[in-house]
A and B are shown apart, each in its own frame.
Chain A
Amino acid sequence: MAGNGISLFDGLHQGLERALDLRRSQHILTAGNLANANTPGYRAKELPFDEMLTSEIAAVERGESARDIQARELEPAPWSLDGNSVNAEREAVKLTENTVLYNALAMGASRRLQMLRFAASDGKG
């Protein structure tokens, strides 16, 4: 799709959609972690965004659609008495970070559509 220069919803659009999707998944995982902050034996879960970037780029280069992503479980600290690995500070920071990035992506998608509308209305939009 990308590269022929005439497609309306190109790779950038798909990329934004995918990123919004993953940020939403990370958000609900964080909410689950916070809800289970006092559940014995519960393992905090998160998306491995750092590892995902390389594998996603490779998948796109091979022309494949993105695969199913697996959440990573955090091991409890050795001093965790109840085997729970939720770190409230870490989750709070992740929550804020994720919200900011999600909002940025949503804004990006919005701007992109504005550009299309501008072009579609002969520059009068």
Chain B
Amino acid sequence: MADLLDTFNVAASGLAAERLRVQTIATNLANAHTTRTEEGGPYQRRVPVFKASQLDVFGNELDRAVSSVQVEGISVDPRPPQRVYDPSHPDAGPDGFVLMPDINVMQEMVDLMSANRTYEANAAAVEATRDMALRALDIGR
């Protein structure tokens, strides 16, 4: 049976997932102009993939409805690189164009705000759970 302490685990999974999202966004922004990578070619945008994972497979119907979040992996955005005209760039081709990562700073900033707010919401869930658990301990006092 899922108890109040399980709620901490669910909220913690949300906190970890959102933190990973912020890290991924920071990586994308940091590498917005990276033209050289280990795999060769310009940096490609990374996207974390989340999956809902059932907390208690053997519980009753209600327990089985509870899901924490699990990071399935980090996928690579397949969008093609941008062609930017900059003949002075060391990685420019003979036609003067450089292949740059197609990172949309606006999109990353919006994602960052969304991750930030969801992180806060999960932190609020932790606080509310603590509040409830402490109040439950007061029963009969």
Interface on A for B, CB 8 Å cutoff?
A: 20, 24-25, 27-32, 34-40, 42, 45, 47, 68-71, 88, 91-92, 95-96, 98-99, 102-103, 106-107, 109-110, 113
When the two chains form their complex, are residues B132 and A38 in contact, meaning their CB atoms are under 8 A apart?
no
B85 CB to closest chain A CB (Å) equals 33
Which one of B29-37, B49-57, B76-84, B96-104 contacts A? Answer: B49-57
> With A37-B121, A68-B62 given, is the CB distance from A31 to B50 under 8 Å?
no
A-B contact pairs, 24 of them (CB 8 A): A24-B132, A25-B62, A28-B55, A30-B125, A31-B125, A31-B129, A32-B66, A35-B67, A36-B50, A37-B121, A38-B18, A39-B51, A39-B69, A42-B52, A45-B65, A68-B62, A70-B61, A71-B61, A92-B121, A95-B124, A95-B125, A95-B128, A106-B132, A107-B138
**For B51, what are the chain A residues with a Cβ–Cβ distance below 8 Å?**
39
Question: Could you mark each residue 87-105 of chain B with 1 if its beta carbon is under 8 Å from any beta carbon of chain A, else 0?
Answer: 0000000000000000000
When the two chains form their complex, are residues A35 and B68 in contact, meaning their CB atoms are under 8 A apart?
yes
Other-chain contact of A28, B2, B61, B114, B140 (Cβ < 8 Å): B2
> With A42-B67, A92-B121, A106-B136 given, is the CB distance from A34 to B14 under 8 Å?
yes
**Residue B3 at the chain A interface, CB threshold 8 Å:** yes
Q: Is the interface of A mostly helix, strand, loop or mixed?
A: helix
Other-chain contact of A34, B3, B65, B118, B141 (Cβ < 8 Å): B118
When the two chains form their complex, are residues A29 and B68 in contact, meaning their CB atoms are under 8 A apart?
no
**For B61, what are the chain A residues with a Cβ–Cβ distance below 8 Å?**
68-71
Q: How far is the CA of A109 from the CA of B122 in the complex (A)?
A: 28
When the two chains form their complex, are residues B132 and A35 in contact, meaning their CB atoms are under 8 A apart?
no
**For B139, what are the chain A residues with a Cβ–Cβ distance below 8 Å?**
106, 109-110, 113
